[in-house]
């Protein structure tokens, strides 16, 4: 295997010069740098990134830590879209990416710092952890840089990327109200998710601004799961016949609500309107096509990687990044004729 000593011998320079040229130091003459690069290419030199990482105390590797990956996640392409965005930005900037899964039990056995040290990552992007997860406090206290997805917490070494979830929810509810719906229910995720809090806040704000009453019994939990949302929707509709529209805090739960309506003999949107959130791939393939609040999920991952790498490289950067949402009107909403 070719070493920098071989390159130094062929190029007629010192090993130190080769090392500094290959590592991008500015004190190497440009002509010499080009000669060294040409020799390295000719000799098929491949740098030992592990050894370089040990010397420089950096691995040029970041981690994407996702909590709670399950078979249920297959229908919801959110994690995959985030992963694609992270990978695109990381690879462009010369960083490798490691994906690892965690859950609350695993977090109690191994700290965030331990996990990062073991996987030899310079920093991490974390998605899907809950408010009570042990990692959240550890992340803020750790000196290992981190970017949180959809968790608005930051410190000197922690940043976050998210959308304005409250505003997104408001757009959904205002759309339903504009169609004449006065009795609007909500299927929320779970109370341990920051996005659930924000989307509930947006739902309540929109009702207030539209002059509509808030009824706590019209808000049910679907836990971000299709089957649980289907059951929750069925119970909501059976108990509160006056509800003519439902805002769901995720598209996956909205798909569950569509199933519940079909089982109950209700036509969407003729009898009841449904709005989702996220604009997952399946939203445009459901019957009827789902009206939803779209997020630029790929960009969330892209911006998370960009922010983390800027932090790792000591650049001045905005530690709080917000992306826009967009109401996408399809077939699952219509004017209220009840």
pLDDT in tens, 190-203: 888 899 999 999 99
> Which pLDDT score, from 0 to 100, does residue 44 have?
80
> Per residue in 272-312, pLDDT tens?
999 999 999 999 999 999 999 999 999 999 999 999 999 99
Q: Is 232 a residue whose pLDDT tops 70?
A: yes
The mean of the pLDDT values for the chain is: 89
The answer to which of 24-28, 59-63, 239-243, 257-261 has the lowest mean pLDDT is: 24-28
Structure tokens at 185: 């229910």
Q: Is 1 a residue whose pLDDT tops 80?
A: no
Q: pTM for the full model?
A: 0.80
Average pLDDT score over residue span 31-40? 86
> Which pLDDT score, from 0 to 100, does residue 53 have?
46
Q: Is 49 a residue whose pLDDT tops 60?
A: no
> Which pLDDT score, from 0 to 100, does residue 128 have?
84
Q: How far is CA 174 from the centre of its chain?
A: 25
Structure tokens at 40: 């390295």
The answer to which of 80-84, 206-210, 235-239, 242-246 has the lowest mean pLDDT is: 80-84
Question: Which residue segments constitute the domains of the chain, with CATH numbers given?
Answer: 4-56 (1.10.260.40), 61-163+297-324 (3.40.50.2300), 165-295 (3.40.50.2300)
- DSSP for 272-311 reads -EEEEEE--GGGGTSSSPPEEEEE-HHHHHHHHHHHHHHH
User: For residue 139, with 0-12 CB atoms within 10 Å meaning exposed, 13-18 middle and 19 or more buried, which class applies?
Assistant: buried
In sequence order, the 6+-apart residues with CB closer than 8 A to the CB of 40 are 2, 7, 22
CA–CA gap between residue 61 and residue 309 (Å, rounded): 10
Q: Is 51 a residue whose pLDDT tops 60?
A: no
> Per residue in 53-111, pLDDT tens?
444 457 789 999 988 676 666 777 888 899 999 999 999 999 999 988 776 666 556 67
> Which pLDDT score, from 0 to 100, does residue 63 have?
92
CA–CA gap between residue 278 and residue 288 (Å, rounded): 17
Average pLDDT score over residue span 228-255? 97
> Which pLDDT score, from 0 to 100, does residue 47 have?
63
> Which pLDDT score, from 0 to 100, does residue 105 have?
64
């Amino acid at each position: 295997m070719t070493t920098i000593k071989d390159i130094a011998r062929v190029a007629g320079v010192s090993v130190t010069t080769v090392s500094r040229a290959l590592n991008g130091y500015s004190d190497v003459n440009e002509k010499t740098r080009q000669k060294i690069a040409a020799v390295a290419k000719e000799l098929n030199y491949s740098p030992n990134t592990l050894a370089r990482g040990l010397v420089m105390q950096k691995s040029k590797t970041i981690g994407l830590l996702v909590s709670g990956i399950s078979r249920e996640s297959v229908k919801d392409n959110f994690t995959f879209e985030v992963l694609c965005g992270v990978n695109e930005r990381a690879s462009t900037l010369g960083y490798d990416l490691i994906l690892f899964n965690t859950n609350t039990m695993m977090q109690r056995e191994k700290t965030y710092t331990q996990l990062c040290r073991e996987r030899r990552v310079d920093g991490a992007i974390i998605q899907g952890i809950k408010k009570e997860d042990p990692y959240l406090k550890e992340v803020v206290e750790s000196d290992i840089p981190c970017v949180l997805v959809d968790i608005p917490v930051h410190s000197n070494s922690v940043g976050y990327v998210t959308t304005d979830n409250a505003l997104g929810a408001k757009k959904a509810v205002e759309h339903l109200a504009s169609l004449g719906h006065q009795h609007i229910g909500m299927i929320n995720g779970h109370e341990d998710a920051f996005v659930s809090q924000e989307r509930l806040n947006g739902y309540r704000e929109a009702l207030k601004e539209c002059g509509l009453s808030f009824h706590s019994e019209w808000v049910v939990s679907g836990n971000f799961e299709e089957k649980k949302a289907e059951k929750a929707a069925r119970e909501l509709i059976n108990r509160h016949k006056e509800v003519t529209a439902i805002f769901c805090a995720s598209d996956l739960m909205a798909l569950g609500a569509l199933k519940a309506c079909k089982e109950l003999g209700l036509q969407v949107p003729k009898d009841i309107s449904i709005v989702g959130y996220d604009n997952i791939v399946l939203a445009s393939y459901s019957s009827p096509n789902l009206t939803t609040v779209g997020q630029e999920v790929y960009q969330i991952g892209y911006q998370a990687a960009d922010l983390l790498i800027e932090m790792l490289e000591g650049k001045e950067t905005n530690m709080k990044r917000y992306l826009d949402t967009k109401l996408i009107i399809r077939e699952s909403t219509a004017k209220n004729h009840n």
